[in-house]
Structure 1
Amino acid sequence: MNKAVSIYFVSALALSNTVVSNANASAELDSLGANTSVDVTNANNAAGTNEANSAALQVLLGNMKQFRATFAQTVVDAEQNIVHEAQGKLTMTRPNKLRWETTLPDETLLVADGEAVWNVDTFVEQVTVLSQAAAIKDNPIVLLTSTDEATWSKFTISQMNSGPSAVKLETSASNNVNSVSGTKSYQITPKEEGGQIVTLTLTFNQDDELASLNMLDAQQQISTLVFNNIETRFPVAADTFAVDVPDNFIIDDQR
């Protein structure tokens, strides 16, 4: 698989390890057993806030039944060193369909058609196919196109007042950070630990359009996508979420 896709975006669509180890589970149970003074009021307040944030984010994404934009992607490591940059186009429709194409530094294609995720690697002439349900299970990227309440219930939603690095869009050329005004940011965190993506932050501009996407992964790398040329109403070609596999390509079907 092409490195540009497999590491920096497919990681958000790859199989994630969401199983808590027996040792961790035991420690959590011991901790709960020892703590007999749980603040029920605070817990209820937190739950109410999460539900309100979830509802607000669902409204924003619900208004985005279609989304198409060009993007600039920057990935930095834990020491804030730039390790990857890419450009391309992202197309999404709700529910559950996504097309990711990069033009620089390499041409790559990733398609989620609602049933399967197709990753086309033209360099090695191979297509890897994953079950979409398994590929994005317990992964916050699923909320971009999911309308399923059971899926949403697996995540904690926090509204960011000033926002993390997603609200400070990095210019990859100079590595300067520019503040963005009139934005709303929501941080999505899986309730179960152990997945590939630790947090996903979505930032919307003053027109309530998705302006940037920020992912912190388990290796402490941060991937930021900044969107331009945003469209939310457009005709969807019949083959947008289809993959035409050349006869000479190897198909690695992992469904």
Structure 2
Amino acid sequence: MKKLLLPLVLGFSSAVVSVSCFAQSQSQFTTEPNSVASAQIKQALQAKLSKLDGFSADFSQRVIDAEGQEIANGQGQLTVEKPNKVHWHTQSPDETLIIANGETLWFYDPFIEQVSIYNFDQALANTPILLLSSNDDKLWQGYRVLQVQSSFVIESLDEQAHVKALQLKFVNDKLDQLVIFDATGQISEISLTMKASDSTPSIFEFEIPQGTHIDDQRQ
């Protein structure tokens, strides 16, 4: 089965700051953190996220390699609704579409005319940003949460995970920026500009265009 690594990542204004903060968090927890403290941090983050019934935002994205060099950038729109619904439309430089309806996730690349299909729980293992759309404690069991300065780090407990951590920053209890760190040292940054949501239920469903190659990864 293919490993799922989706570009659902948001970040700080500086990749260097993000790398530094994450490195600090790793060094601070070289041993297993106190379970009570860890649970309290996770609860604090979940309390913040529980206030987000959903949101729509324009985004700008930067991809930074392990040497700190920018290797790609793009723009698009993101809409999240609870429970477990995501609509991620990257418009440039190459169009891609990621849609989750709570049970199924579709990843559509119109350039190569291919759609990959995953179970939602299967996608979650390598796409922790999907946690933003859920209040289900069971979905959090594969992650621990650390607090680094004014941000939270959602860290995968799976040593084989392609996405190692998702860092979230809030400003006045509003989600402002996130950043994902992958196993190769690459960072995907996205800055959000919130806007009024005009979503309809249909945007969380995907109708496969005629002639599209279907790569069904559901188990």
- Match in the other structure for 1:76: 64
Q: CA RMSD in A?
A: 2.2
Matched residue of 1:240: which SS? helix
How many residues align? The count is 194
**Residues 1:141 and 1:229: Cα distance change in structure 2 (over 3 Å):** closer
Q: Is the 8 A contact 1:120 1:128 kept in 2?
A: yes
Is 1:67 matched up with 2:55?
yes
Question: What residue number does 1:56 align with?
Answer: 44
Q: 2:205 aligns with which of 242, 245, 249?
A: 242
Normalised TM-score (structure 1): 0.70
CA apart distance, 1:229: 2.9
Distance of 2:121 and 2:213 partners within structure 1: 23
- Larger RCO: 1 or 2 (CA < 8 Å, sep 6+): 2
CA–CA separation in structure 2 for the residues paired with 1:245 and 1:134: 20
2: CA distance between counterparts of 1:56 and 1:139? Answer: 21
Query: Who wins on radius of gyration, i.e. which is larger?
Result: 1
Q: How does 1:203-214 map to 2 (within 5 A)?
A: 203-206=169-172, 208-214=173-179
The residue type paired with residue 156 of structure 2 is P
Quote the residue 2:216 is aligned against.
253
Residues in 1 aligned to 2:106 and 2:84: alpha-carbon distance in whole angstroms: 13
TM-aligned CA deviation for residue 241 of structure 1? 0.2
Contact 1:138 1:154 in 2 (8 A): no
Q: CA shift at 1:235, angstroms? A: 4.7
Mark the CA change 1:9 to 1:129 in structure 2 (over 3 Å): closer, same or farther: same
Unaligned runs of 5+ in 1: 1-5, 12-41, 162-183
Residue in 2 that maps onto 1:118: 106
- Give the superposition deviation at 1:203: 0.6
Of 173, 182, 190, the match for 1:217: 182
Cα distance change, pair 7–75 in 1 and its aligned pair in 2 (3 A) = farther
Consecutive aligned runs of 4 or more in structure 1 exceeding 4 Å deviation: none
